[in-house]
Amino acid sequence: MSSVTLQAVRKTWGAFEALKSLDLHIPDGEFLVLLGPSGCGKSTTMRIVAGLEEVSSGTLLFDREDVTRVHPRRRNVAMVFQNYALYPHMTVAENIGYPLKVTGVDKAKAREKMLDAARKVDLTDYLSRLPRDLSGGQRQRVALARALVRDPRVFLLDEPLSNLDAKLRVAMRAEIKHLQRSIGVTMIYVTHDQIEAMTLADRIVLMNKGQIQQIGTPDEIYDDPANLFVAGFIGSPPMNVVTGEVADGVFRAPGVTVPGAPGRGPVTLGFRAEDVTLSPTGAFQGTVFEVEPTGESTFLVVEVGGGRAMLRADKKHRPALGSPVAFDVPASQCLFFNPGDGLRLRRTVPHLQQVTA
Amino acid sequence: MTRPGVKWTTFALWVLFSLLTLLPIWWMFLVSVKSRTDLFGRPSFLLDISRITWDNYATVIANPAFQRYMLNSLIVSTANAALVCALGLLAAYAMSRYRMRGKDNIFFWVLTNRMAPPAAFLLPLYLLYTGVFQVGDWSLFDTRIGLILLYCVLNLPFAFWLLQGIIDGIPAELDEAAYVDGASTWQVLRTIIVPLAGPGIAVTGILTWVFAWNEYLFASTLTSVNARTITTGLAEFVTVTGTNWGQMAAVAMLTLLPAALVLAVVQKHIVAGLTFGAVKG
């Protein structure tokens, strides 16, 4: 097992810049999730770590060893591909044992290790089957076993759950997390699913357009987003945003007045649906646009401050469409952003008291 | 739903086409099993199988020249097929997997090599084989290796084109997975690409084998005695004193046999191999 360090790593294809000078350190044994929308550079980052893409410039270190120009076969990384990339002409046993076969491990020892890996993912009954005779979940486990069969320095998983149905995905998620904890390997996991990222990661790296937007624990990323992109990407529903003006420390938008705001001029206010408290005298005044019951709660789509916001309310709450609604958000949960560059505007003194009208 | 009338018409048409195709072969077979007297004395022989003789076959099989021609053809065709498959696979793999400048142009250029009429190369090749490619007394003219190399030149563009389509159909992710698993490029080729492209390689091998087996023009020009192949041997039955039709037909049947057998056995795989790239595995 190794730590992984990317220093000023850039990747370009012609004029297109897929990665713009990436700096990242992943300590030994960490479960790191690379999260972001399609084309954000997360898969490219992982492929660079695997050696499947060459960097345009920059350095990649495993521990202190420079592996930037090392061929993938000599990096000793294990990778699980999105489509599993199982060898269709080989049985489950041959698939799992392939890394040992090509690296010339003694046959008896290889068989023992293969059986051990198959046991870990509960595949011992399927060893003589071909991949096409397996279900999606079983194929996924074969791919995991093939990665587990040796002792890789880094474990890479490229959207490994995206081809599974929702129920299986949840089950496999727990298995992967448990596996990582039990063997304590450095794991880099690529996904565009924020729930997967939140549930699995020790740390999340949120990327967009080839740049890191924020690095932090799931809680940090959720509660303390660095910019509007992070705020909008993480959370379901995403963070509500209202754009208004700040003058003399007071944020104002149609129907909204929030004191204790940083900055001046145009500012974007963000708050999460679950931080809202309905109150007839609330600082936010709007009208109900739509009601969305989900079973465990009811989401109200509200027209407020010149835009729309989602509020989470009690499951029995069913206001009439078009009726006025007022709510409060704790001051600590009101986040402010610069609408120009999307960056967070922080208060100099934390305001923890309730916002009042 | 198909109406019975349409079904029967289709059936009849297929029977007609099959008969048209098979008739010359049947005729040749009859000629090969008739004595010279019967051939010319009883001209109406299309359905006459009353006086069959295998003498023509016995004579040609016992003929040392025929044996040598057959052996030459077998060696040349098989070596050609093996060489073309090996080189074609390597070229196609490189073309399919590596990013390189002007890839499409190279591919097209290789294909255009196949478009020129072979007869245009006849004289230059003859001069090269007799005068240029020589070491001391030895030259490529009238050697099996000479034919093998020439057939490679003629067959490689086709093999390259066919195999590239097949390798393109194998997801590159499998190569990447194998590299990450610790395999070398050679191991990837041997353990991943060759087994998965197996049907395609077999088709390429068979089609190039049949091409070399059937080739006449170059074989007749670039060989004289030692490296003569069976197709050129056929022409030797036409002499200034007359044509030995019976023996010639017997040799023709024997020439036809291996190719027909190979194609009959593997025809299903040929269709599967040619459509390999169309279906994702």
Contact A73 B183 (CB under 8 A): yes
Model confidence at A356, pLDDT cuts 50, 70, 90, reads very low
Per-residue pLDDT reduced to its tens digit, A119-159: 988 899 999 999 999 998 899 899 999 998 988 999 999 99
Burial (Cβ within 10 Å: 0-12, 13-18, ≥19) of residue B221: middle
CA A203 to chain B, closest CA, distance in angstroms equals: 25
- Within 8 A of A83 by CB-CB distance, chain B residues are 171, 173
Residue B50 has pLDDT above 80, yes or no: no
Q: What is the CATH number of the domain that holds A330?
A: 2.40.50.140
Residue A355 has pLDDT above 50, yes or no: no
Distance CA A102, CA A68 (A): 23
Q: Tell whether A262 is covered by a domain.
A: yes
Q: How confident is the model at residue B225, as a pLDDT?
A: 85
Distance CA B277, CA A292 (A): 48
Q: How confident is the model at residue B281, as a pLDDT?
A: 37
Domain with A331 in it: 237-345
Distance CA A56, CA A77 (A): 21
Which residue among A177, A194, A223 closes a domain?
A223
Q: How confident is the model at residue B101, as a pLDDT?
A: 85
**CATH topology for the B57-278 domain:** MetI-like fold (1.10.3720)
Which residue among A223, A245, A276 closes a domain?
A223
- Within 8 A of B191 by CB-CB distance, chain A residues are 87, 98, 101-102
Lowest mean pLDDT among A257-261, B84-88, B179-183: A257-261
Q: How confident is the model at residue A357, as a pLDDT?
A: 38
Q: Tell whether A232 is covered by a domain.
A: no
**Shared domain check, A147 and A68:** yes
**Shared domain check, A295 and A168:** no
Residue of A47, A48, A49, A52 for testing the chain B interface, max B β-carbons within 10 Å: A52
**Shared domain check, A241 and A213:** no
**Shared domain check, A146 and A23:** yes
Contact indicator for B197, B163 with CB cutoff of 8 Å = yes
Per-residue pLDDT reduced to its tens digit, A288-345: 999 999 999 999 999 998 899 999 999 999 999 999 999 999 989 999 999 999 999 9
Instruction: For CATH 1.10.3720.10, list the domain ranges present in chain B.
Output: 57-278
Distance CA A251, CA A107 (A): 71
Q: Tell whether A230 is covered by a domain.
A: no
CA B266 to chain A, closest CA, distance in angstroms equals: 20
**Shared domain check, A84 and A52:** yes
Q: Strands A250-253 and A240-247, how do they pair? A: antiparallel
Residue B280 has pLDDT above 60, yes or no: no
CA neighbours closer than 13 Å in the CB half-sphere of residue A153: 22
Q: How confident is the model at residue B274, as a pLDDT?
A: 61
Per-residue pLDDT reduced to its tens digit, B102-120: 888 888 888 888 788 888 8
B191: contact with A, CB 8 A cutoff = yes
Quick one: closest CA in B to A97, which residue?
B181
B187: contact with A, CB 8 A cutoff = yes
Q: How confident is the model at residue B160, as a pLDDT?
A: 92
Q: How confident is the model at residue A353, as a pLDDT?
A: 47
Model confidence at B43, pLDDT cuts 50, 70, 90, reads low
Quick one: closest CA in B to A80, which residue?
B177
List, as ranges, residues 33-92 from B with C-beta within 8 Å of A: none
Q: Tell whether A351 is covered by a domain.
A: no
- Within 8 A of B184 by CB-CB distance, chain A residues are 73, 102
Q: Tell whether A231 is covered by a domain.
A: no
Q: What is the CATH number of the domain that holds A199?
A: 3.40.50.300
- Within 8 A of B174 by CB-CB distance, chain A residues are 85, 87
Cβ atoms < 10 Å from Cβ of A163: 15
CA neighbours closer than 13 Å in the CB half-sphere of residue B90: 7
B196: contact with A, CB 8 A cutoff = yes
* Greater pLDDT, A263 or B271: A263
Query: What is the total count of domains within chain A?
Result: 2
Model confidence at B278, pLDDT cuts 50, 70, 90, reads very low
Provide the whole-model pTM.
0.81
Per-residue pLDDT reduced to its tens digit, A19-37: 999 999 999 999 999 999 9
Q: What is the mean pLDDT of residues B231-259?
A: 85
Q: How confident is the model at residue B257, as a pLDDT?
A: 87
Give the rounded percent of residues in chain B with a pLDDT score beyond 70.
Answer: 93
Q: What is the mean pLDDT of residues B69-73?
A: 93
Model confidence at A349, pLDDT cuts 50, 70, 90, reads low
- Within 8 A of A103 by CB-CB distance, chain B residues are 182
Tokens of B204: 């390429």
Tokens of A345: 């505007």
**Shared domain check, A52 and A12:** yes
A146: contact with B, CB 8 A cutoff = yes
Which residue among A223, A256, A287 closes a domain?
A223
- Within 8 A of A85 by CB-CB distance, chain B residues are 171, 173-174, 176-177
Residue B94 has pLDDT above 60, yes or no: yes
**Shared domain check, A68 and A130:** yes
**Shared domain check, A32 and A132:** yes
Distance CA B152, CA B113 (A): 12
Q: Tell whether A354 is covered by a domain.
A: no
**Shared domain check, A254 and A326:** yes
Contact B195 A89 (CB under 8 A): yes
Q: Tell whether A101 is covered by a domain.
A: yes
Per-residue pLDDT reduced to its tens digit, B104-162: 888 888 888 878 888 888 999 999 998 888 888 888 899 999 999 999 999 999 999 99
Residue A183 has pLDDT above 50, yes or no: yes
* Greater pLDDT, B47 or B168: B168
Burial (Cβ within 10 Å: 0-12, 13-18, ≥19) of residue A132: exposed
B97: contact with A, CB 8 A cutoff = no
Q: Tell whether A56 is covered by a domain.
A: yes
